Structure 1
Amino acid sequence: MATGSSDSLLDSDNESERHRKCSTCSSSCISCCRNCRGPKVYHARVVNVGRPSKTQKFPSNRINNQKYNVISFIPLVLFEQFSVFLNLVFLVIACSQFIPELGVGRLYTYWGPLGFVIAITMIREAVDDIGRWSRDRDVNMAIYGKYVRNKEVSVMSSDIKVGDLIRLEKNQRVPADMILIWTSDRNGSCFIRTDQLDGETDWKLRYAIPTTHAFVSRTGHPSSLWDMEAQVYAEAPRQSIHSFEGTFVRTDVNPTSPTDSEASEVSLNIDHTLWSNTVLATGSAIGLVIYTGSETRAVMNSSRVRTKRGKIDQEINNITKLLFCILVLLALIMVALKGFSGSWYKYWWRFVVLFSYIIPLALRVNMDLAKIVYSFMIMRDKSLPNCLVRNTNIPEELGRICYLMSDKTGTLTQNEMVFKKLHLGSVAFASDSMEEVVQGLRNHFTAGSTIGNLSDQLTRQIRRTTNERMADAVLALAICHNVTPMTETYSNPGSIDVPGGESKEAMAMVSNVRLNRIQNPSSPDEVALVSWTATVGVTLVFRDLHRMRLRLPNDSFVEYEILNLFPFSSESKRMGIIVRDYSSKRIIFYVKGADTVMSSLVSYVDWLEDEAGNLAREGLRTLVVASRTLTEEQYSDFAQRYHSAKMSLTDRVEKMQSVVATLETNLEVLCLTGVEDKLQDGVRPALEALRNAGIRVWMLTGDKLETAACIAKSSRLVSRDTPMYIFKSVSGRMEAHLELNAFRKRCDHALLITGTSMEVSKFTCLRFYEHEFVELARQSPAVVVCRCSPTQKTQIVTLLRYHTKARVAAIGDGGNDVRPALEALRNAGIRVWMLTGDKLETAACIAKSSRLVSRDTPMYIFKSVSGRMEAHLELNAFRKRCDHALLITGTSMETCLRFYEHEFVELARQSPAVVVCRCSPTQKTQIVTLLRYHTKARVAAIGDGGNDVGMIQASDLGLGLLGKEGRQASLASDFSLAQFKHVTQLLLVHGRNCYKNTAALALFVIHRGSIITVMQAIFSAVFYFVAIPLFPSFLYVGYATVFTMFPVFSLVLDKDVPDRIALTYPELYKTLQKGRELTFKTYFIWQLISVYQG
């Protein structure tokens, strides 16, 4: 099978190579040719272990990020510069001076300023490209070990080919995409750091192919892999860094071998991969190269994002176009007054040359230098520690934000999970009663109950004691997770007491941490749960790929064999694990996940939904834990079907999920947990300031409706005196219509809505009533979107920018002091929207506690809607309460936007705050897009995790926080902050100064050129419209550079009010949101001043 596939792949890759050779001239020509022949088609491949193919051709592994080369540098830079219309005009004017009949003054009068601008640009481009060349050289010349027959040789990164066996040492960068063949750990595992690939700071666990790892361990030398006849089938190169499908095939062993170490076929997935640009964190490893160069995941995900340009740039472009028209018209008037006789067109052109200083050639250079200064001042501000400016093109946009889309988890909260409640149905244990849990577990296990008996009890249909049910729940929490304990390698291994005589090497997997045991933080929730089980006496002491060990309260140990692990995914919203108890041989399937998903998988219990809602109203994140005991026959049947699905070459993931779904039926509920994500200390004052500044804040979260409402109130996103309108769940057009009408009457309410109700792509508010929804949401004082996905966050920002034409900022994840920041933003008139994936109750709680919804603002809970009629009725209800803060689920918002997009936006705009709960990443993106489209206002988005990247990139201004989930949001943002409280300093102080000073700088530069143009016009008119210069040539050059540049440029350092006053009175920010600092009106006023002074 593999050979046949290899032949077909050879043909396809040869064909692909013929296409790749069509052009090798320059990067611009290559890009043009690729555009002409369409997107490149990738094919799957078969890679022989250790034997690079001599017939198949793959991309070189040389990295080349240079924009230019020695030959193309000058032509490409000049082409880019003169593709700008005004620069081209100046070039034509300067070239015309070589013609004697058109010459006015000396050549350096016009070539001097033009050359000055071009020289600065060329120096900047050269410095940037030299930096890129230097970084590429360091990467390409990195030395790695390569295994060939019977020896190891050195090879540069740029010379690595598909099929090579590469050795990696600790802290070494992975040079190409690889399959893990062997590790120095006896279990065949290692950890990698992926922060340079996906921005996540937690370490990822990877596993070597069992067959190859056992083979190398047995032979004792990696070069023995050449004696193995094996191939790896790898899928076609694609962008996804979180998935992989492949198969390892060994042809020199018995296919019926029962052991894993000698299996003839092994299914490969993401756990067996080492992507390029990741770093090996532990031990040493050997990898088989499967993708190189442009086909690696890192390169395929390095596509350019949308280039953001400030609105002030567009306004200046419009003014300069007007100036060009004035130039042409003024020259024509001078010729007309002189008389159209003889070669009048020569005189007309000479007047164009004389008056050309009215066009601010140096304005672009001044503005670019000003933006660099602004960025430097922001990063040097001691009030903004660790602040990074990643986009120097738009610092003045900080002063024109009207809407702020905010994530909840890690942005308004600390993203530090603390276990708070354990609910068993008939009894619940809070943080103040954990001693009862400790004592109950101690009594249960000390009484002689074994794990085998406990497993029997899990299947009995009789009433159990509280201690027994408590033990079941705590054991499930200690087993069902993806946490790995790690310790440091110690200088005296004999002094380390490892329970059960476990290998010191197995326990000491990481050498750069302290001796005390920590967890591999797969997620803050799981670490919180495992840490809590340790505090009550059930401790995870060891875990590897195949087994785990727990210490019980009676100091005994119990071991489980890990049969299967089903990791958590955002699509399934749950994770599962199948384990076998070594003592009783019982097989147990544990599952934990969101209550919305688990409710359909478990046997009916009457308390689950109510108690989940109660926990959410307290602002807690909820998880349902369930289990099912399997017989040997049931598991054997499942294992066979699951293995067949894993070996499938097509639709592997879907087939595996369908097999697992057969086990997820009639699960027994063990417990309901509540984990608290503490609100940051400064959230409330910060949201108050934003509200007073006229910035409307929308909270977009994936939490439940109740949780979103709780957070909105507690954070003061919704003020105390602002009522909250909870948007009902809608699923159709009529429902959306009615709910929008209801909301229209309450536009003063803060809006709370779920991502589903707002979703664009389905039968919901954004699809049918997009404009209406945005208009309503704009009026709301606060908006909270719960159950909001990362894509939805991005869409919300995009839509808000589109509809309002206002500037929109986005921010996610942060540290402390958020309340003062939100207070300041509100006082400045900036409306903050919170987009979160939490429940409705949690979102409402956070919105209130953070003062996103002020104390005096009521909150409108948007009902869940699923159809057009429901959306219609609910919007009508909200229309009557537009003064309420709006709380809506993502599902209901989706319905409303499908049928009544415009109506919903208009209502939401009027709301003082909007909270969208159950909001998916897609819905976050849709909300941003919606607001930008309908309001034409500037929309900002703030977030901390990978689910906020789409929202941040879709906004006018993206703010990323360095969160515990990683650096994805920070890397994708325009401005990176350490804490949410810094938003007020960034927007109300630096944003205000940047915008006012940039507008003043632009007007002064235009004013400078207009004055000398007026003087020249008067001079020519007095002397019978003669076309000769007023001043000597060197004075013209000096006037535009030395004499006036530094005094005018000093405007960038100007401050009309001290920083303390700008923060104390955030209302000063409101005057900037309408963009009146630089308009045609202000331009004409300055022109009148120029005429007077000239």
Structure 2
Amino acid sequence: MERDAGSPSAAVAKMEPRVAPVTAVEPRVAFLNDKEANQQLITSKQYARNVMVTSKYTAVSFVPKCIFEFFRVVANVYFLLISVLQLATPWSPTNRFTTAGPLLFVLLVTMVKQGSEDFKRHQADEKQNRRSCRIINAGGQVEMIAWQDLQVGQLVCVENHEELPADVVVLATSEEEGRCFIETSNLDGETNLKRRIAVNPTAQLVAASWSRRNASRVWYLPFIKEADGADDFVVNFFTFLILYNNLVPISLYVSLDIIKVLQANRITSDVNMVYEGTHAVARTSELNEELGQVEYVFSDKTGTLTCNVMEFRKCSIGGISYGFGTTEIGRAVAALASDKPHATSGATKQTPSPAKAKINPLGFNGEGSGSAVKLDINSTDDVREIVSPAGPVHPPTQSEEGSDPKDAQVHFDPNIHFDDPGLLRTLYAGGKQGELIHEFLMLLSICHTVIPETDAKTSAVTYRASSPDEEALVKAAKCLGYNFVAPAPLMKVEISRKQSLLPPHMKTQHEQEPTAKCYTIVNVNEFNSTRKRMSVVAVDEETHEYILYCKGADNMMLERAASALNDGDAAAHAKLVGHLKNYAREGLRTLVLGRRVLSTEEYKEYNEAYIEASTSLEDREAKLDACAELVERDMQLLGVTAIEDKLQDGVPSAIFDLAQAGIKVWVLTGDREETAINIGHACRLINDKMQLLYVNAERIDALIAQLDALHETPEIQRLIRGDQVAENLAMVCDGKALVHIFPSRDARVKMSAEAVERVQLLSEKLLDIARVCKALIACRVSPSQKAEIVQLVRKGGPCGKTQPITLAIGDGANDVSMIQTAHVGVGICGKEGVQAVNASDYAVAQFRFLTRLVLLHGRCNYKRVCKVIRYSFYKNIALVISLFVFNFFNGQSGAPLFESFVMAGWNFFLALPIIVIGVFDQDIPEVVVLKFPQLYRRGPVDSDLNMRVFARTIVNSVGHALICFFGCYAGTLLASQGLYVLGTLFYTALLGTMKLKVVLLALNWNKYHFAVMAFSVGLFVFFLLVYPRFTFMSYDMFGVPAHMIRLQRYWTLLLLCPVAAMTIDFTATAAQQQFRPSAEDILRERFRSNKSKRVGDSVAPMSVPLESSSPSIDRLFLAGQSIDEDNKSDSKDSKDCKPTTFVVTAQPPSPSRRPGSSSNLPLYDSFKASLPHPEARSSFAFNGLDEPSNRHASGDLPAQEARDHARAQLPAQSPTKSHQLLGSPACSGRSPGTLVHVAPRQHQVSP
């Protein structure tokens, strides 16, 4: 009866207690209410105790397990080896505890951290195990005991809405037939209710009473025997190995652990990521920096991009569509198409053979445009277009305006906007169409697993459903007069009519009363991700017919429909398919409904197979699925339901910002192709300027031809070889094609070597093509296919490059595999349980918070961690270089320059300031970072921590160490001071240099910076004053600080050496910011001098994407005033305006922020050449953007001609006069965007 260690609680209603695995199905024996006998079974390990344990350690195992995990890190093993060499050999030039002391400290910190975390787990386990439950003891009395005391064989009493304390078998319930409904969200995240029925021998076992109350020093020099060369080499090797062991910063791991935990706390406490009281949660702190390096985002649709709040909007019955109005997604698609009316008019080009499709399937010509071909999904001989414009296709407009929903519903629900009274009129009029509508609504009323609950006080009925879709359909049926009031097995539906829509002859008193219709549900074929449908077999209590009611995905239902008996049925079927496509184009979720009347003999055959399958102990689900196939065929299609799931707030803007940050967003959904594409348009994932590449072949030969045709296109090949991304390409994949690329594990085992090689080749081609596309939409994909797609991208990076960092975000149990496969998993706290959140690394309440999590927290944490790593190596390399250089002055004896414990304190004196930087450093204000998503692009290319940057750090560290060493050496050349006086003097100077380096690294100072800086300096001073008095530790430092501080040269060198060393850094930084500033430098300077102004008033966001071939994000827009071609027809005054001003501006931001604006301002590349000479360049110039000399600017002139042309137009004026605001009267109205004045550095920067 022991529950899984990782499960919060057992919420299942099956009492098969956990037991050691057996090789065959054997009966297990327990004794009913026999405590002693059952205790013997537990003692003999036949059954487990009902105790939940999620903690990692016990009091006995904590120390050994924690030490074992600590030394699994290679760096810790290295320091352990150094410590052993120091402690166990005479080769150490330093004190024996120089390395062992810090290592022990780090170990203790780690153990404290692990112990505190595990203590919290122990508390949670204790709280869970001490929960109470009711049992019926041997005397028949109800007794309260703790969950952990529950034994196998005891009778447990559970009331409604209570949590089960263990795995149980249902013996009896208060409901008919001994049934109950359970929820397993605590185990698997599924919130749908599952039906369980008591075992037959005890199904009626309910008592009447239950129904009622429910070493010493050597002071001489001995004779030293001369050692041979081999021994001398070994001793020297280990001596210098120990001396230079600080080359690897021992404090780095513990510093990063502390920093990451505090970073995670900042994410959790971010008040700007709170929705309806739900905060963001950082479930791990190990991936904070990877959030700043994401290249691919894989997103689910339902509940992730959408609200997962379903609303019945339209339906199609008998070939007639009912319901008016346009959905939110439909309006967004219509607005998009109205802006570009020609976008939907792409001509389809037929070609006689697929061979021509392989020549140029994209249709690229010399001018970069052309039509394309598409391979038919069923035949390689019939070639159609595989590339089409991405413009959305409009659904047909309704010929009749929608009415007030109150007039179209029997029981009005303000949350349902179905507004077509024609459906009820046709229903009441009768005839064939009326009968179809009746069966349609009846199916909605009984083909489900919804449970109605009545409030005893208000008599209000609420529905508990397994999914929001089912709840929406049941509520829709109720609004239309078919009120489901009694649950299975005897389902009762009350049919009411709307008097105002009844024909005159039906308006009688009798007809005003609801009529009841009863059905007995005898079999249920449940929904799963493989079947994509559910069905029930019901017995009509009036006619005693066996009727199969079924609803499911269109691709599953259409292939199981009966053949058309006449032209009318064929026409209705064709219209139904057309309505399916139209609803999908509006972004509506569709289900196809069907029914079939079973004969008595057919039902008996099916029922026998159903009973056998449901009682099977092996492959039960597979057998039940095969059993359902016996009757789910030849169905009469009744119609289609269309449910709207609105987009979450801020989704289009979030996806736009992610794209601007250089992140590829791939949407993986189970919806049909048209729905997925139009939702892609609505959320701005794709646009009408894009060409869609389709991969949707059902047959393997057609799929091979389809991928070959795309992969061999010259334009695709050029992009693949250049590792570039085409801004105008997007891919649409279908799950039926991905079946061949990602076969199941069982299918892969049975495949031949040739077939495995073919699958590998197909996946490589798919990845090559997808990688050059701006976006990808995968439709009709299963949960396993989602994970396969993520795995393909994660492991399929180009040769010679690091594998891309992937992020997956979802909200449901079907997204867990995808979330766990990606490097970073993000769960949305939605309405489909908590399984996605439990499997994730970070949790947010809304998709729009992903931009803040990634673009802000991810970018900042990446830059902070990179700074910490660089500084940690910088300070330790400087220390080791000083020891290395000193050995050239002491005959390579291996003697240290510093006293052992002074050297061991190096990391302690310098740890806190860099930790504060790692937590609070912010190079640019938050709002600016979010307004300029292109700033994120430095992370994925690892521009802050690569070999080039690390080499600069090493050179910088070596330079500072040499300056300090030789500065102190020259300053004390004629002094007759002791070794440790000179060593401590140099140590202090080098420490001061390290402190100044921290000052240079910190970009925004707060109270924590000042506090830790003062504390670390005070700590060092305190150490120098106190440590020498502890002579039992070392006599070497006794009197050294007191003597040293009386030396004038000490204070002189303490001032000169750090300043001389850091002058190089300060000068280099100032020169770089003056002549080759980065985008961060420009924005930092801009908003540092305008703190009182709002960011939106100063700089508009960047919105034009950058070429993927350039890793630089320094692409803000510079433009001369006279370049705007849209303003050629301005007034005379504007014509006199000279191009004397350069501005930093941006094209319009996301449409959700500032719709309708436009700008033709060129990129910075067009005008960089026309800027003045470097010495006169503005502080807003950008670096890293010099293109090859043979590359043209964005206009028609080459770069050199553009430079000469721009210089010729610049008037010979002083900088003060030539740099003016574009907001002057003579130039008013010239630019549609917000402009930033660029002035020389000696002048004030003004907006």
Smaller-chain TM-score bracket? 0.5 to 0.7
Q: 1:93 to 1:446 in 2, by over 3 A?
A: closer
Say if 2:191 and 2:466, in contact at 8 Å, map to a contact too. no
Partner of 1:564: 523
Question: Matches of 1:557 and 1:789 in 2, distance apart?
Answer: 49
Correspondence list, 1:268-283, <5 A: none
Q: Which amino acid aligns with 1:561?
A: T
2:673 equivalent among 705, 726, 731: 705
Deviates more, 1:413-422 or 1:161-170: 161-170
Q: Which amino acid aligns with 1:408?
A: K
Q: 1:992 to 1:43 in 2, by over 3 A?
A: same
* CA deviation map 1:577-606 (0-9, x unaligned): 222333444442211111211122222344
Aligned residues, how many?
A: 794
Q: Provide the secondary structure at the position in 2 that maps to 1:579.
A: strand
Say if 1:791 and 1:950, in contact at 8 Å, map to a contact too. no
Q: Structure 1 residue 529 and structure 2 residue 473: aligned?
A: yes
State the Cα distance separating 1:906 from its structure 2 match: 1.0
Deviates more, 1:914-923 or 1:610-619: 610-619
Q: 1:1039 to 1:580 in 2, by over 3 A?
A: same
Q: 1:942 to 1:340 in 2, by over 3 A?
A: same
Q: Alignment identity in percent?
A: 30
Q: Provide the secondary structure at the position in 1 that maps to 2:901.
A: helix
State the Cα distance separating 1:748 from its structure 2 match: 7.8
Q: Structure 1 residue 72 and structure 2 residue 30: aligned?
A: no
2:704 equivalent among 717, 720, 736: 736
* CA deviation map 1:626-660 (0-9, x unaligned): 11234555545544453344344555444444443
Partner of 1:642: 610
1:1025 equivalent among 877, 880, 892: 892
Q: Which has a greater percent of strand?
A: 1
1:727 equivalent among 683, 692, 695: 695
1:372 equivalent among 242, 253, 261: 261
Say if 2:693 and 2:732, in contact at 8 Å, map to a contact too. no
Q: 1:773 to 1:61 in 2, by over 3 A?
A: farther
State the Cα distance separating 1:560 from its structure 2 match: 2.3
Say if 1:396 and 1:998, in contact at 8 Å, map to a contact too. yes
Larger radius of gyration: 2
Question: Matches of 1:720 and 1:658 in 2, distance apart?
Answer: 44
Point out which structure has higher relative CO (alpha carbons under 8 A, 6+ apart): 1
* RMSD of aligned Cα (Å): 3.7
Q: Structure 1 residue 996 and structure 2 residue 863: aligned?
A: yes
Question: Matches of 1:1043 and 1:442 in 2, distance apart?
Answer: 78
State the Cα distance separating 1:911 from its structure 2 match: 0.8
State the Cα distance separating 1:1074 from its structure 2 match: 1.1
State the Cα distance separating 1:609 from its structure 2 match: 3.0
Q: Structure 1 residue 161 and structure 2 residue 120: aligned?
A: no
Question: Matches of 1:900 and 1:374 in 2, distance apart?
Answer: 42
Question: Matches of 2:740 and 2:940 in 1, distance apart?
Answer: 25
Q: Structure 1 residue 393 and structure 2 residue 360: aligned?
A: no
* CA deviation map 1:134-178 (0-9, x unaligned): 333333344433334332455443343333322234565423211
Q: Which amino acid aligns with 1:481?
A: H
Partner of 1:689: 657
Question: Matches of 1:60 and 1:774 in 2, distance apart?
Answer: 62
Deviates more, 1:779-788 or 1:659-668: 779-788
Correspondence list, 1:418-497, <5 A: 418-431=311-324, 432=402, 435=407, 464-490=431-457
Say if 2:93 and 2:242, in contact at 8 Å, map to a contact too. yes
Q: 1:177 to 1:779 in 2, by over 3 A?
A: farther
Q: 1:646 to 1:926 in 2, by over 3 A?
A: closer
Partner of 2:811: 944
Q: Structure 1 residue 547 and structure 2 residue 491: aligned?
A: yes
Q: Structure 1 residue 196 and structure 2 residue 186: aligned?
A: yes
Partner of 1:616: 584
Q: 1:675 to 1:1044 in 2, by over 3 A?
A: closer
Q: Which amino acid aligns with 2:593?
A: V
Q: Provide the secondary structure at the position in 2 that maps to 1:214.
A: coil
Question: Matches of 2:789 and 2:470 in 1, distance apart?
Answer: 30
Partner of 1:1093: 960
Question: Matches of 2:943 and 2:878 in 1, distance apart?
Answer: 23
Question: Matches of 1:1048 and 1:642 in 2, distance apart?
Answer: 64
State the Cα distance separating 1:991 from its structure 2 match: 0.8
Deviates more, 1:915-924 or 1:572-581: 572-581
Say if 1:399 and 1:1073, in contact at 8 Å, map to a contact too. yes
Partner of 1:409: 302
Partner of 2:628: 660
Say if 1:698 and 1:784, in contact at 8 Å, map to a contact too. no
State the Cα distance separating 1:1020 from its structure 2 match: 2.4
State the Cα distance separating 1:896 from its structure 2 match: 8.9
Question: Matches of 2:27 and 2:49 in 1, distance apart?
Answer: 16
2:248 equivalent among 356, 359, 380: 359
Say if 2:696 and 2:733, in contact at 8 Å, map to a contact too. no
Deviates more, 1:685-694 or 1:537-546: 537-546
Question: Matches of 1:941 and 1:793 in 2, distance apart?
Answer: 21
Say if 1:780 and 1:908, in contact at 8 Å, map to a contact too. no
Say if 2:172 and 2:205, in contact at 8 Å, map to a contact too. no
1:1050 equivalent among 917, 921, 931: 917
2:641 equivalent among 673, 677, 683: 673
Partner of 2:270: 381
List alignment gaps of at least 5 residues for structure 1: 1-15, 21-38, 223-282, 286-337, 450-463, 491-495, 497-514, 752-771, 797-867, 872-893
Correspondence list, 1:776-787, <5 A: 782-787=730-735
Say if 1:616 and 1:622, in contact at 8 Å, map to a contact too. yes
State the Cα distance separating 1:981 from its structure 2 match: 0.6
Partner of 1:590: 549
Say if 1:406 and 1:942, in contact at 8 Å, map to a contact too. yes
Say if 2:173 and 2:203, in contact at 8 Å, map to a contact too. yes
Partner of 2:774: 912
State the Cα distance separating 1:670 from its structure 2 match: 1.4
State the Cα distance separating 1:187 from its structure 2 match: 6.3
State the Cα distance separating 1:747 from its structure 2 match: 6.8
State the Cα distance separating 1:916 from its structure 2 match: 1.0
Q: Which amino acid aligns with 1:468?
A: E
Say if 1:795 and 1:930, in contact at 8 Å, map to a contact too. no
Normalization by structure 1: what TM-score?
0.67
Say if 1:564 and 1:578, in contact at 8 Å, map to a contact too. yes
Question: Matches of 2:738 and 2:186 in 1, distance apart?
Answer: 20
2:27 equivalent among 45, 49, 65: 45
Q: Which amino acid aligns with 1:952?
A: I
State the Cα distance separating 1:696 from its structure 2 match: 0.8
List alignment gaps of at least 5 residues for structure 2: 1-17, 215-226, 325-401, 411-420, 498-511, 564-569, 745-752, 798-802, 962-1247
State the Cα distance separating 1:918 from its structure 2 match: 1.1
Question: Matches of 2:743 and 2:937 in 1, distance apart?
Answer: 26
Say if 1:358 and 1:1010, in contact at 8 Å, map to a contact too. yes
State the Cα distance separating 1:49 from its structure 2 match: 7.4
Partner of 1:95: 84
Question: Matches of 2:286 and 2:120 in 1, distance apart?
Answer: 20
Q: Which amino acid aligns with 1:419?
A: F
Correspondence list, 1:233-382, <5 A: 343-382=232-271
Q: Which amino acid aligns with 2:764?
A: H
Q: Structure 1 residue 1008 and structure 2 residue 875: aligned?
A: yes
Q: Which amino acid aligns with 1:78?
A: I
Say if 1:958 and 1:975, in contact at 8 Å, map to a contact too. yes
Say if 1:411 and 1:980, in contact at 8 Å, map to a contact too. yes
Q: Which amino acid aligns with 1:663?
A: V
Question: Matches of 2:118 and 2:548 in 1, distance apart?
Answer: 56
* CA deviation map 1:918-957 (0-9, x unaligned): 1111111111111112122111111111111111111111
Q: Structure 1 residue 115 and structure 2 residue 104: aligned?
A: yes
State the Cα distance separating 1:775 from its structure 2 match: 8.4
1:577 equivalent among 536, 541, 553: 536
Question: Matches of 1:111 and 1:284 in 2, distance apart?
Answer: 67
Q: 1:637 to 1:79 in 2, by over 3 A?
A: closer
Q: Which amino acid aligns with 1:374?
A: Q
Question: Matches of 2:464 and 2:271 in 1, distance apart?
Answer: 34
Question: Matches of 1:746 and 1:193 in 2, distance apart?
Answer: 55
Deviates more, 1:621-630 or 1:131-140: 131-140
